[in-house]
Amino acid sequence: MKTDRRQLSTAEERRETVLRTAIGAFAARGYFGTTTTEVAKAAGISQAYVYRLFPNKEALFAAVVAHCFTRVRSAMERGAAAATSSEPQVVLDSMGDAYARLISDNDLLLVQLHAQAAAVSEPVIQEAVRAGYARMVEYVRGASGGSEEQVQRFFATGMLCHLIVSLDVTSVDAPWTRTLGAGIAHY
């Protein structure tokens, strides 16, 4: 007689589950307001197991930040592949459109905003955010072939997109919202 055996997940699978779960937890309350107990509970594992996977909360949050940058990079790659021409501005616009679609996921946007805020006072997080942006800037520069000015404007527009989405500027019809949102698409 054959019995079904429960297949245990590997540490790497659990690590990925914790990261995906932690995105929601950190998005809701930020780095400073989220405990590893909350992350463990949401992931369905013990806090002790969280600490087996990540040595401390800083390391967990830094891994979440890196995971989010990986998601952003994947969106940028899809955007670059979808560009209708190899002209730098066309590639940048296509990557920007892919990013605008991606940040309609509020959890991803919130983690990015919380990471930038925590980076001000937490060196480990600051380094994770720096490393993520360093890789992203170099990817965007290489994939688009854009000039320094074009790449800078691309990232500046991305930061403006964060503001527009977080304030839900499109729901307010006022001169200042039309100024901020002019020419910027959001989903």
Q: Which of 4, 128, 52, 111 is nearest to 43 (CA)?
A: 52
What rounded mean pLDDT belongs to the chain?
Answer: 92
Count how many domains the chain has. Answer: 1
The pLDDT assigned to 22 comes to 95
**CB contact set of 160 (below 8 Å; sequence gap of 6+):** 180, 184
The pLDDT assigned to 3 comes to 53
The pLDDT assigned to 186 comes to 73
Kindly state whether residue 79 falls inside one of the protein's structural domains. yes
Kindly state whether residue 177 falls inside one of the protein's structural domains. yes
- Give the amino acid at 135: R
Kindly state whether residue 3 falls inside one of the protein's structural domains. no
d(CA 18, CA 118): 20
| Residue ranges, the chain, pLDDT below 70 | 1-9
The pLDDT assigned to 154 comes to 97
How far is the first Cα of the chain from the last one, in angstroms, to the nearest whole number?
54
Maximum CA extent, the chain: 74
* Phi, psi for residue 45 in degrees, rounded to 5: -135, 170
The pLDDT assigned to 9 comes to 67
Kindly state whether residue 35 falls inside one of the protein's structural domains. no
- Give the amino acid at 39: V
Domain residue limits at 164: 57-181
Kindly state whether residue 153 falls inside one of the protein's structural domains. yes
DSSP-assigned letters across all residues of 115-159? HHHHHTT-HHHHHHHHHHHHHHHHHHHHHH---HHHHHHHHHHHH
d(CA 152, CA 41): 40
Yes or no: say if 95 and 76 are a contact pair by the CB < 8 Å rule. yes
Q: Residue 15, Cα to own-chain centre: how many angstroms? A: 17
Q: What's the CATH code of the domain at 104?
A: 1.10.357
Kindly state whether residue 76 falls inside one of the protein's structural domains. yes
d(CA 21, CA 13): 12
Kindly state whether residue 136 falls inside one of the protein's structural domains. yes
Kindly state whether residue 30 falls inside one of the protein's structural domains. no
